[in-house]
Chain A
């Protein structure tokens, strides 16, 4: 059958603003950054060029790869830790609360975002300080004092502060949406409570669990507040590396290299995760 392919302007008209927005503020800057990664810096000024100097210097440096694996490792650990820590809370919110109580609890989880993350990170500086309340309590029990700031631990506290509420929200959404009959059916077919969790609840909520972990990964991967204010910047993460690179000698092109590697990494992780979250066997 031959259908006349008339160009329908109406839907295109409505999509246009979004396309223009995305083009102007996402594609163009991205292309600009990609182009910039091939430029040169002379006398603290950028000059358009097409050299691979920035790429070979950055990727050839051991320090870059140290930062890369550190960032990747921390992001993965934060994704796992956030998922594990959030899960019991999400189970409670999903299965022990009434509909209205759950809605209120989820609302409370949004409240932390009313405060700038920077402020929350500063709050942790006070709490985790050598002379802070945590060490005071531990000291009373004859422990410590512990150095918690300016360490990987401090950074991880920051990462989890950033991502935990979101991960709980993702998990709760998918757990609360599970058909309760499936859970009853599993028990009815002989599954003890723990096996119901493993064989029905987790597979049925897979999408939300994976998306929560990926969000934690993405946000941790790109966070600079936690490693800067709570992690002590040493060893540097990729975000710290970008700051250092731009500060020292206006090396924006080299920072662009780091940023592009980060974007490619996130793209690969997000693609794999979405496939895992929505993919089905068979």
Chain B
């Protein structure tokens, strides 16, 4: 494989006594759509800001194209960032906003206007060039921010939760715009988000971060079906976790004894909510008993919440017809079962 575009090597970042990023090692490849995902405070935004030079690593090295960037100020980097607040200049018109980067690079009036107009056209903002920023809709502002960052033809684009302020239907549309744009331009996108749906829908690779460290890196499906730690399992998807001691293919857990395909010793298994079957009668195989709590409509199905006798919460995804067949009432006990071959053993 070719040399990565960006390399983080043992990067550490502390703000006073608060450690935001701990010994981070990460390669970002040319032309990939990489999502940095995690709960707030996990260090994903700090990582992105260090890449843009807006924060300096406390220790470790960040290289771009093999060149150590630690002491390179932001304005000497080619790492445009799309802010969560977009950070468009309110005192400039739409086209002047888009031109800004070109103006700072000393490109002449005529050429920078032409290049800016080309990008406004591409972003379907033709006719809006002399508007003020506050005369645009949320989606239009988004596209101005993208045009402003891309007009200088950078090799990578950094995005910090750019869609978090948009309405749900606009988010889906902008996801399409972003993935198409990334494929067309062939440049690297580094996308920070706490939204699993955004990361999984767009990214080639997802980096899950927690407490300033990388928990897992992989393709969306790998992470979704094969979380490597309890943290990832709880953060992505609707997963149930069962922990216990395995002996001769049977796990003894507080929720019950179930067959499991794991070697002897302590183990944790992840049962995705969409792989749990709910029934009144005890089925053969892996099953635990739990009381029905409530249900929640989730678009693609219904998530039923259960509580095991020891107080653990379990989730099962069922269809509408399944739910009406069950005639579940709060407090009633059911059997939750799954195919032992279709669970993920962590560790």
Q: Is A203's beta carbon under 8 Å from chain B?
A: yes
With A188-B54, A190-B101 as contacts: A181 and B152 at CB distance below 8 Å: no
In whole angstroms, how far apart are the Cα atoms of A193 and B104 in the complex? 11
Q: Which of these binds chain A: B75-83, B204-212, B228-236?
A: B75-83
Q: Is B130's beta carbon under 8 Å from chain A?
A: yes
- Judging by beta carbons under 8 Å apart, are B89 and A188 in contact? no
In whole angstroms, how far apart are the Cα atoms of A206 and B90 in the complex? 12
With A187-B75, A189-B101, A192-B75 as contacts: A206 and B132 at CB distance below 8 Å: no
In whole angstroms, how far apart are the Cα atoms of A281 and B94 in the complex? 12
Task: Say how far B80's CB is from chain A's closest CB, in angstroms.
Answer: 6
Q: Which residues of B contact A42 (CB under 8 A)?
A: none
- Judging by beta carbons under 8 Å apart, are A188 and B132 in contact? no
Cβ-neighbour of B87 out of A182, A192, A199, A203 (below 8 A): A182
In whole angstroms, how far apart are the Cα atoms of A193 and B75 in the complex? 8
Mark A160-197 against chain B: 1 for CB-CB distance below 8 A, else 0: 00000000000000000001011011111111110100
- Judging by beta carbons under 8 Å apart, are B74 and A188 in contact? yes
- Judging by beta carbons under 8 Å apart, are B152 and A190 in contact? yes
Cβ-neighbour of A181 out of B74, B75, B87 (below 8 A): B87
Closest A residue to B134 by beta carbon equals A280
Q: Give the residues from 47 to 105 in chain B that come closer than 8 angstroms, CB to CB, to chain A.
A: 52, 54, 73-75, 79-81, 83, 85, 87, 89-93, 100-101, 103-105
Counting residue pairs across A and B whose Cβ atoms lie within 8 Å, the total is 67
- Judging by beta carbons under 8 Å apart, are B80 and A191 in contact? no
Q: Is B344's beta carbon under 8 Å from chain A?
A: no
Q: Is A282's beta carbon under 8 Å from chain B?
A: yes
Task: Say how far B136's CB is from chain A's closest CB, in angstroms.
Answer: 13
In whole angstroms, how far apart are the Cα atoms of A83 and B250 in the complex? 79
In whole angstroms, how far apart are the Cα atoms of A186 and B104 in the complex? 9
Closest B residue to A191 by beta carbon equals B104
In whole angstroms, how far apart are the Cα atoms of A279 and B65 in the complex? 46
- Judging by beta carbons under 8 Å apart, are A181 and B83 in contact? yes
Q: Is A200's beta carbon under 8 Å from chain B?
A: yes
Q: Give the residues from 25 to 63 in chain B that come closer than 8 angstroms, CB to CB, to chain A.
A: 52, 54
Q: Which residues of B contact A191 (CB under 8 A)?
A: 75, 100, 104
With A187-B75, A190-B104, A282-B131 as contacts: A200 and B81 at CB distance below 8 Å: no
Q: Which residues of A contact B104 (CB under 8 A)?
A: 186, 189-192, 195, 199
Q: Which residues of A contact B148 (CB under 8 A)?
A: 189
Q: Give the residues from 10 to 68 in chain A that come closer than 8 angstroms, CB to CB, to chain B.
A: none
- Judging by beta carbons under 8 Å apart, are B91 and A203 in contact? yes
Mark B129-171 against chain A: 1 for CB-CB distance below 8 A, else 0: 0111000000000000000110010000000000000000000
Cβ-neighbour of A189 out of B73, B91, B100, B132 (below 8 A): B100
Q: Is A204's beta carbon under 8 Å from chain B?
A: yes
- Judging by beta carbons under 8 Å apart, are B79 and A204 in contact? no
With A189-B100, A190-B104, A192-B75 as contacts: A206 and B81 at CB distance below 8 Å: no
Task: Say how far B104's CB is from chain A's closest CB, in angstroms.
Answer: 4
- Judging by beta carbons under 8 Å apart, are B93 and A184 in contact? no
Q: Give the residues from 292 to 314 in chain B that come closer than 8 angstroms, CB to CB, to chain A.
A: none
Task: Say how far B154's CB is from chain A's closest CB, in angstroms.
Answer: 10
Closest A residue to B101 by beta carbon equals A189
Closest B residue to A189 by beta carbon equals B101
Closest A residue to B148 by beta carbon equals A189
Cβ-neighbour of A188 out of B80, B92, B103 (below 8 A): B80
- Judging by beta carbons under 8 Å apart, are A280 and B81 in contact? no
With A188-B80, A190-B104 as contacts: A282 and B93 at CB distance below 8 Å: yes
Task: Say how far A205's CB is from chain B's closest CB, in angstroms.
Answer: 10
Q: Which residues of A contact B92 (CB under 8 A)?
A: 203
Interface centre among A181, A192, A280 (most CB of B within 10 A): A181
In whole angstroms, how far apart are the Cα atoms of A191 and B105 in the complex? 8
- Judging by beta carbons under 8 Å apart, are A200 and B89 in contact? yes
Q: Which residues of B contact A188 (CB under 8 A)?
A: 52, 54, 74-75, 79-81
Q: Which residues of A contact B93 (CB under 8 A)?
A: 281-282
Q: Which residues of A contact B100 (CB under 8 A)?
A: 186, 189, 191, 199
Q: With contacts A186-B104, A200-B89, A204-B89 known, what are 18 further pairs, Cβ within 8 A?
A: A181-B85, A182-B89, A184-B87, A185-B83, A186-B100, A187-B75, A188-B79, A189-B75, A189-B149, A192-B75, A193-B75, A199-B103, A203-B91, A204-B90, A206-B91, A282-B130, A282-B131, A282-B132
**Chain A to chain B contacts (Cβ below 8 Å), 20 pairs:** A179-B85, A181-B83, A181-B87, A184-B87, A186-B89, A187-B54, A187-B74, A187-B75, A188-B54, A188-B80, A190-B101, A190-B152, A191-B75, A191-B100, A193-B75, A195-B104, A204-B91, A206-B91, A280-B132, A281-B93
Interface set of B (CB-CB < 8 Å, partner A): 52, 54, 73-75, 79-81, 83, 85, 87, 89-93, 100-101, 103-105, 130-132, 148-149, 152
